[in-house]
Structure 1
Amino acid sequence: MDRRATFDNLWLAGALVAPQILLVVVFFYWPTMQALYWAFSTQPPFGGTNQWVGWQNFEQIFSDAVYWNSVRVSIVFAILSTALSIGMALLLALMIDRQLAGHKAYRFVYFWPYAIAAPAVGLAFRFIFAPDAGFVSAINQLAPNLWNPALKGWDAMLLIVIANSWKMMAYNFIFFLAALQSIPRSLVEAAAMDGSGVLRRARDIQIPLLAPTLFFLLVINITESFVDSFGIVDITTGGGPARATDLMVFKIYSDGFKGLDYSMAAAQSIVLMLLVIGLTFVQFRYVEKRVHYA
């Protein structure tokens, strides 16, 4: 007999969920509706109510070479950051799963970076990789101007990729380690008894069984790279040099809060939201087909 739990007191149920609904409406739906309104309107230069302009703001940003540069830079950043963070987290999780000496201490320490705020991460890496003060200064003394993120675009891109990957690596590590520990030990032990080495066991048994976790982290990391990288970019490079690290989310901030062009910033935020939704749809539509759930 199928018994379902019921809640007879609807007023009490409504009172319990009302705070959460209010938070979602105030901090998610209301700002989204405001962004839509600003994206299809423009503010008169001398004040007054907004004027409806339709697709004019979108036509302007799509014809702007600077905006397309930010799109290209964002895609490069997302690919590099996701690949590095997932790859390093998987390697660390495989090492910890072998329960080597001190694995409990390492397991605890590896999660710390995710608890650090993005601006703090950016500030730390800005100092560590400073060409004249950080440890890279010793390299620059041997090879002058080999590393200078203030002048070289690829150096600046590499700096924010490393900083963001270091932060997300901790998040990925926890999921990979949990997934590895859910794999029956009998499978790994049987492969070891058959003579399979550490790399062979990881390649043929462990990594294939991590496919659902890997897919989940792929979606999360790509989304985070597009929408949660502002703090690192703002502190480390400020979008420079020569817009080499001018990510889409940072350009929205620059146009909206520095350039005071709220309509263009709102239009860009809508495009960014649609881009993230589109990438997520593609991943679920095509990439998930290659994922096998045990």
Structure 2
Amino acid sequence: MAAGGEAGLKRAHFRQVRLPALLLLPQLAILLLFFFIPSFRALTQAFLLSDPFGNTVHFAGLDNFTQLLASESYRESVQVTVVFTIAQNAFTMAVALVLAFASDRVIRGRELYKAVILLPYAIAPVIAGILWAFLFNPAVGPLAQLLHAAGFEWDPNRRGADAMLLVVLAASWKHICYDYIFLLAGLLAIPASLIEAAAVDGARPLRRFFSVCLPLLGPTVFFLAVMNFVYGFFEVFAIVDAVTRGGPAGATNVLVYKVFTDGFVNLDLGSSAAQSVILMAFALLMTLLQFRYVERRVNYDV
């Protein structure tokens, strides 16, 4: 019986390289066309100096990087990106935790409750940005009118803090459902015996959540923190473009949007390529630091 089982396992492996190569070919072609070739072009362009039409190209060495690091606008964009990413990460995680905790408390209409929370994930980022830009438009937005009626001076077109808050809310609203899915799955995976034991000891629902559930969600929270970080650095271009276009006065000009404006609007291809290389290196560095120093505090034991 054991020999037959081992033979069956051996037959499950591919005996020739041709079939697995053909199965991998579509994915490899996509990676080659949309990742490796653009990455190689960006890396080479970062060391070149060319005119807007690419007719004259000169090797510039590290000049693009030195000029970029000496630029005041680039340093301001770095600060804006860090503030936006931290705020978006914290707000998204906090709201997703509350919604996931509330899912266990909902008795009637639980499926409808989950469907409503997951709905924003099906909306395109540019549509989400346009929706939030309309709702908080200082002239015609209904929510902006409520803020004005309450005595708040709301104007994201002229006030940088208001614009940053609006972009954070729009980006978080679009991404909360992603965190909610993983946090809810993590809560459902917690053994019911632990929660029941805490209830027998007299712990209230909030106490059970913070003392029992939240520590066991450590791996999930750590994973989502990394994913939210990547989202804040690379996947908010459409929202920023639809809501503020980097304004006012660069208050929401995050790095990924600055790469676009410098490369495709200002036609400074060398600087744009250098920015993309620095952005990728910075994101990799921050991710490695998170795994190096934050993961130590994560408890994977259930």
TM-score by length of 2: 0.93
1:91 to 89, 98, 113: 98
Q: 2:78·2:255 contact (CA, 8 Å) conserved in 1? A: yes
Deviation at 1:93, TM superposition (A): 0.1
- 1: distance between equivalents of 2:227 and 2:51? 39
Letter in 2 for 1:247: V
Q: 2:52·2:268 contact (CA, 8 Å) conserved in 1? A: no
Greater Cα offset, 264-273 or 107-116: 107-116
2:73 is aligned to: 66
Deviation at 1:239, TM superposition (A): 0.6
2:119 is aligned to: 112
- 2: distance between equivalents of 1:44 and 1:230? 26
In structure 2, the residue corresponding to 1:111 is in which secondary structure?
helix
1:137 is aligned to: 145
Residues paired across the two proteins, number: 293
Q: Which runs of 5+ in 1 are unaligned?
A: none
In structure 2, the residue corresponding to 1:149 is in which secondary structure?
coil
Letter in 2 for 1:157: M
Deviation at 1:117, TM superposition (A): 1.2
1:11 is aligned to: 18
Q: 2:52·2:269 contact (CA, 8 Å) conserved in 1? A: no
Is 1:198 aligned with 2:205? yes
- 2: distance between equivalents of 1:77 and 1:122? 15
Q: 1:286 to 1:244 in 2, by over 3 A?
A: same
1:219 is aligned to: 226
Offset from partner CA, 1:31-86 (integer Å, 9 cap, x none): 00000011000114675352111100000100000000000000000000000001
The percentage of counterpart residues that share the same residue type is 43
- 2: distance between equivalents of 1:113 and 1:139? 24
CA-based RMSD of the aligned residues comes to: 1.5
Q: 1:177 to 1:123 in 2, by over 3 A?
A: same
Q: Which runs of 5+ in 2 are unaligned?
A: none
Greater Cα offset, 29-38 or 39-48: 39-48
Greater Cα offset, 99-108 or 272-281: 99-108
Q: 1:44·1:51 contact (CA, 8 Å) conserved in 2? A: no
Is 1:264 aligned with 2:287? no
1:53 to 60, 69, 88: 60
1:186 to 187, 193, 209: 193
1:231 is aligned to: 238
1:160 is aligned to: 167
In structure 2, the residue corresponding to 1:223 is in which secondary structure?
helix
Deviation at 1:29, TM superposition (A): 0.5
Deviation at 1:100, TM superposition (A): 3.1
- 2: distance between equivalents of 1:93 and 1:291? 20
Q: 1:94 to 1:141 in 2, by over 3 A?
A: closer
Q: 2:134·2:140 contact (CA, 8 Å) conserved in 1? A: yes
- 2: distance between equivalents of 1:122 and 1:197? 39
- 1: distance between equivalents of 2:225 and 2:85? 10
TM-score by length of 1: 0.96
Q: 1:211 to 1:17 in 2, by over 3 A?
A: same
Deviation at 1:109, TM superposition (A): 1.5
Deviation at 1:269, TM superposition (A): 0.4
- 2: distance between equivalents of 1:46 and 1:247? 26
